[in-house]
């Protein structure tokens, strides 16, 4: 009998923000294929003998997506129930859609278990609301790490600058100079507040703040590193008001 593959979001990293369903499936699974982002607190609660690290790190070691896809199918066809554990939510810049399509094409049973995306949770943990009645009636989620095989970026920074809402960039610490420059070139006010939240909700969480014009220097001074999210917009200034 073919096993089932569960695409499970682990949330932003705090083990108490893992959903009840995700916890149950992790306990029941035969094998857990996990990314790097779930964090040591969550991964440490999974028996080592059923964990397989298939994670990727920007500019570092990585498991090719083709190998991850093949491994999911191989295990399921052997009768194993598999949790494919991802950081945040499987469908928010997590390549969950690609993996789901691969499973569907091969007739492998699957189920998606949503997780709390770091795009919302990390700013919230830093006292930054991504929407606010007085400051932002819309929010846009953007990846700072597009497919490197693309000829050009698919992100329309001009349109984002024109919306007047909050912009949250995931996986964008390394390319911070490029997209802050793109937003400035698009006419966004240089004094627009910006915040970087590293390891949001997890031990070691750090925050650096500045403006569209100064945030690169603030990043370098604080030594902010991945995983981190960038929040651009007036809501990033609410944190300072609260503090």
Judgement on whether residues 88 and 143 belong to the same structural domain of the protein: no
Please report the pLDDT score of residue 61 as a whole number. 64
Tokens for 241, please give them. Answer: 């008001």
Judgement on whether residues 236 and 150 belong to the same structural domain of the protein: yes
Distance CA 5, CA 3 (A): 7
Please list the ranges in the chain whose pLDDT falls under 70: 57-61, 146-152, 243
Q: Is 50 a catalytic residue?
A: no
Domain boundary among 59, 93, 113: 113
Domain boundary among 78, 113, 148: 113
Judgement on whether residues 17 and 108 belong to the same structural domain of the protein: yes
Please report the pLDDT score of residue 14 as a whole number. 96
Q: Is 21 a catalytic residue?
A: no
Q: Is 14 a catalytic residue?
A: no
Q: What is the CATH number of the domain that holds 236?
A: 3.30.950.10
Please identify which of the residues 36, 86, 89, 171 carries the catalytic annotation: 171
Please report the pLDDT score of residue 57 as a whole number. 64
Judgement on whether residues 133 and 233 belong to the same structural domain of the protein: yes
Judgement on whether residues 231 and 124 belong to the same structural domain of the protein: yes
Judgement on whether residues 91 and 11 belong to the same structural domain of the protein: yes
Contact 3, 82 (CB under 8 A): yes
Distance CA 2, CA 151 (A): 40
Residue identified by tokens 């491994």 is 71
- The DSSP secondary structure of the chain, one letter per residue, reads ----EEEEE-BTS-GGGS-HHHHHHHHH-SEEEE-STT-HHHHTTS-GGGEEE--B-TTS-B--HHHHHHHHHHHHHTT--EEEEESB-TTSSSSHHHHHHHHHHTT--EEEE----HHHHHHHHTT--S-BTTTBS-EEEEESS--TT-SS----HHHHHHH-SEEEEES-STTHHHHHHHHHHTT--TT-EEEEEESTTSTT-EEEEEETTTHHHHHHHHT--SSEEEEESGGGGHHHHH-
In the chain, the number of structural domains is 2
Question: 110 pairs with which residues across the strands?
Answer: 5
Please report the pLDDT score of residue 149 as a whole number. 54
Please identify which of the residues 21, 30, 50, 56 carries the catalytic annotation: 56
Judgement on whether residues 83 and 135 belong to the same structural domain of the protein: no
Judgement on whether residues 131 and 206 belong to the same structural domain of the protein: yes
Please report the pLDDT score of residue 146 as a whole number. 67
User: What range defines the domain where residue 107 resides?
Assistant: 5-113
Judgement on whether residues 107 and 128 belong to the same structural domain of the protein: no
Judgement on whether residues 15 and 92 belong to the same structural domain of the protein: yes
Please report the pLDDT score of residue 46 as a whole number. 96
Contact 183, 157 (CB under 8 A): yes
Please identify which of the residues 35, 89, 188, 199 carries the catalytic annotation: 35
Please report the pLDDT score of residue 231 as a whole number. 98
């Amino acid at each position: 009998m073919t096993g089932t593959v569960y695409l499970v979001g682990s949330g932003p990293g705090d083990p108490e923000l893992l959903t009840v369903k995700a916890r149950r499936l992790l306990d029941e699974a035969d094998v857990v294929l996990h990314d790097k982002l779930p964090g040591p607190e969550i991964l440490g609660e999974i028996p080592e003998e059923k964990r397989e690290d298939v994670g990727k790190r920007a500019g570092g070691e990585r498991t090719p997506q083709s190998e991850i896809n093949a491994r999911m199918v191989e295990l399921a066809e052997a009768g194993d129930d598999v949790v494919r554990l991802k950081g945040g939510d499987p469908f928010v810049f997590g390549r969950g859609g690609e993996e789901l399509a691969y499973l569907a094409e091969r007739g492998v049973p699957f189920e998606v278990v949503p997780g709390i995306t770091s795009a919302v949770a990390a700013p919230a943990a830093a006292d930054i609301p991504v929407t606010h009645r007085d400051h932002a009636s819309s929010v846009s989620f953007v990846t700072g790490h597009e497919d490197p095989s693309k000829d050009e970026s698919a992100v329309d920074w001009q349109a984002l600058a024109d919306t007047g809402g909050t912009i949250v960039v995931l996986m964008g610490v390394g390319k911070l100079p490029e997209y802050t420059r793109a937003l400035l070139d698009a006419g966004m006010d240089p004094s627009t507040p910006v915040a970087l939240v590293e390891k949001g909700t997890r031990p070691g969480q750090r925050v650096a703040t500045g403006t569209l014009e100064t945030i690169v220097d603030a990043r370098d001074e604080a030594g902010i590193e991945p995983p981190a999210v960038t929040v651009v917009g007036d809501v990033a200034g609410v944190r300072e008001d609260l503090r």
